Chains A and B, each alone.
Chain A
């Protein structure tokens, strides 16, 4: 195949795919545990412990996908890494403070004196909220080409609210899967409300990105692309209907439906992400720098590629092991 003749061509594509995959896995996995944090104020004390128990064994590894994604950007596209992160300097700093707060609050709320627990609960919520809002803000600004004007900031604020709603939504779907009784019933209510935010967010991004960029407009609305791509919005709409219907049937006896919202939400997130990725390819910095211009030397990428081929299956294997060990309804977190 001609594509594989030149490593300077196929390695950047492979790494863009890997980075995209990491970001998607991050958005789904840390999305649900950030979302659980965002939902914290709506729950009572017992429910909070149960909510934390449902993400306890996973959140560390979930955040590692962000490290991998940012690491791949750093190592595979060093020129883009600097451009993007200096443009997003302040939101990145706020994101990091948020992640620090929630990550440690997780441990402190269980280990500090009981009188401090409410304070760490607040830190867990505020940290999760900060991380969700700033990620949404960065997404919006990225779509707008990393420019700061009144319009782009307004759009970024909209995406930040929508992504936060999306995380709260997938967090609620996770709780439907992992909890039972009253908390599960409340999670269904939260999911119904979050779904509106998800739909608004996907609609806003789908409308805005072709309007901002004629290039993206052409990629979607010229013939035959518009026909080939038609299944994407249609399937997404079908998934939203499925979510709506399944949430109306929940909570159900016998738990036949409880896995449907989380799985459907994951597929919906994946489709939305695929749409974005299609819009921006081959650019890594929108309209300014392609993955080929930003890529590291092929020999360095190749060294990482070889390692990835061996290690990634192992990572996926033991991640599956972990989710298998802690399958079923969340129980109290105990060290013994």
Chain B
């Protein structure tokens, strides 16, 4: 493999590993604020019990996000110097604003939020929780502004091969930004909802019937049930926006080779780029036309329109985009079914006590469904941007650094090993924490009284 492909795999591996953790902390920050406010309002210890459990998950996830994020900031220079050299005048200020407005805010107030409960007044602790949530969201905002600009670049002009900003308002509010940002924030909400529901269902299966687990399970599945239809709607809007600005990506998502009307919605196919056709197609007639244009005879762009005269493809590799898109949509539909059934079951009278064990197992299995859908979604949009790094402005191949393939291969192997071990350790520790929290409930045979759960909860 050449240095270009290895560098791409390395960047992909780094950012895939990184995004797992912000996807959790963005929404979990707001969930913690919600729990803290419910506790402030009711003084009911069950809210604090849930808060104490999830704040540990937050601390661990945040640390994973910080250290993997530092890796990202170095990758630009070590592997992709052409990126900043060409579009640095635009990417630079956006990244700088992310560091200045978000990173310090969240890192500093995280210390107070985690360890300051008994050291600062209650209002300051709540404020710290709020500012951490604001920080994670601001960070998502700036990085998604930059990412969206790479898909739909506007507000700049090229001078001597270097992009210069002409309209910052247009750059920040570039055409795909509102859709991508909303889609990602909802993805974070869903990831957390399923994680909370999954670990609570895990504790339910361990016979933990405490109030804390009850409200956590209910909060998790209800949040999921509310967010998933919104996400499907926003995802559709995002797709229509992509159709307008990056039709070649939509053609790859649909696996559609020839532009035309009555394009089927493919449920299964093996796209073959050599032959420029699909094998083993199974589809719903006119489905893609209906979804994308809301008319059965609507015209859907085809991949064959994006081929240079010498035969080189100007569209992304088809199979990965096609399949990543299907994994995302499939996971989303599974989320819809499971969360609605679970919400209905848990809100019945006495619904927690007689919750369905099979559905509980299903929720445990889907604890990290949000990760799967988020990664699949990002692969769809980022592989779908190829061969461009910045759509129409900078080709990926032109930005790669002058580092030997062997060097990149050795660091890639190092990162992959570290990431595999750490992901396994992270998932293992989450279930271990759930198991231990349940064990700590057991010694008291009577239902925990108010105050009983507030005893020693050291930072572990």
Q: Which of A178-186, A203-211, A307-315 contacts B (4 or more CB under 8 A)?
A: A307-315
Contact A89 B112 (CB under 8 A): no
Alpha-carbon distance between A183 and B277 when the two chains are bound, in angstroms? 71
CB-CB under 8 A from B425, the residues of chain A are 104, 108, 112
CB-CB under 8 A from B71, the residues of chain A are 96, 100
Q: Which of B75-128 contact A (CB under 8 A)?
A: 76-78, 81-82, 84-85, 88-93, 95-97, 99-101, 103-105, 107-112, 114-120
A78 lies within 8 A of chain B by Cβ:
yes
A-B contact pairs, 7 of them (CB 8 A): A74-B88, A75-B95, A78-B92, A93-B411, A103-B66, A300-B165, A335-B56
Q: Which of B278-286, B336-344, B346-354, B399-407 contacts A (4 or more CB under 8 A)?
A: B399-407
Q: Which of A31-39, A79-87, A167-175, A274-282 contacts B (4 or more CB under 8 A)?
A: A79-87
Contact A90 B411 (CB under 8 A): yes
Q: Which of A183-204 contact B (CB under 8 A)?
A: none
Contact B459 A335 (CB under 8 A): yes
Contact B78 A63 (CB under 8 A): no
**Also in contact, A82 and B401, with CB within 8 A (given A57-B116, A335-B52):** yes
CB-CB under 8 A from A4, the residues of chain B are none
Which A-B residue pairs are the 7 nearest by beta carbons? Answer: A82-B81, A75-B92, A85-B77, A57-B111, A78-B88, A103-B67, A78-B84
Return the chain B residue nearest A298 by Cβ.
B89
Return the chain A residue nearest B414 by Cβ.
A97
CB-CB under 8 A from B66, the residues of chain A are 60, 63-64, 103
For the residues of B in contact with A, the DSSP-based class is helix
Contact with A along B57-84 (1 / 0, CB 8 A): 0011011101111110110111001101
B310 lies within 8 A of chain A by Cβ:
no
CB-CB under 8 A from A311, the residues of chain B are 100-101
Distance in angstroms from A100 CB to nearest chain B CB is 4
Alpha-carbon distance between A307 and B95 when the two chains are bound, in angstroms? 12
Return the chain A residue nearest B106 by Cβ.
A60
Alpha-carbon distance between A86 and B74 when the two chains are bound, in angstroms? 10
CB-CB under 8 A from A57, the residues of chain B are 111-112, 114-116
Contact B418 A101 (CB under 8 A): yes
Instruction: Specify which of A96, A108, A110 lies most central, judged by the most chain B CB atoms within 10 Å of its CB.
Output: A96
Partner of A74, one of B84, B116, B162: B84
CB-CB under 8 A from B119, the residues of chain A are 325-326
A contact residues, total (Cβ < 8 Å): 66
Distance in angstroms from A45 CB to nearest chain B CB is 14
For the residues of A in contact with B, the DSSP-based class is helix
Contact A300 B90 (CB under 8 A): yes
Distance in angstroms from A80 CB to nearest chain B CB is 9
Q: Which of A64-80 contact B (CB under 8 A)?
A: 64, 66-68, 70-76, 78-79
CB-CB under 8 A from B407, the residues of chain A are 89-90
Distance in angstroms from B430 CB to nearest chain A CB is 9
Identify the A interface with B (CB < 8 A): 56-58, 60-61, 63-64, 66-68, 70-76, 78-79, 81-86, 88-90, 92-93, 96-97, 99-101, 103-104, 106-108, 110-113, 296-297, 299-300, 303-304, 307-308, 311-312, 315, 318-319, 321-322, 325-326, 332-336
Contact B111 A58 (CB under 8 A): yes
CB-CB under 8 A from B89, the residues of chain A are 296-297, 299-300
Partner of A325, one of B52, B92, B116, B422: B116
CB-CB under 8 A from A100, the residues of chain B are 67-68, 70-71, 418, 422
B259 lies within 8 A of chain A by Cβ:
no
Contact B93 A333 (CB under 8 A): no
Partner of A60, one of B56, B62, B402, B432: B62
Q: Other CB < 8 Å A-B pairs besides A74-B76, A300-B165, A336-B454, 17 of them?
A: A56-B111, A56-B114, A56-B115, A60-B66, A67-B70, A74-B77, A75-B91, A75-B93, A82-B401, A92-B74, A106-B63, A108-B60, A299-B89, A307-B93, A307-B96, A319-B104, A335-B458
Contact B99 A64 (CB under 8 A): yes
B154 lies within 8 A of chain A by Cβ:
no
Alpha-carbon distance between A9 and B149 when the two chains are bound, in angstroms? 29
Distance in angstroms from A75 CB to nearest chain B CB is 3
Return the chain A residue nearest B104 by Cβ.
A315
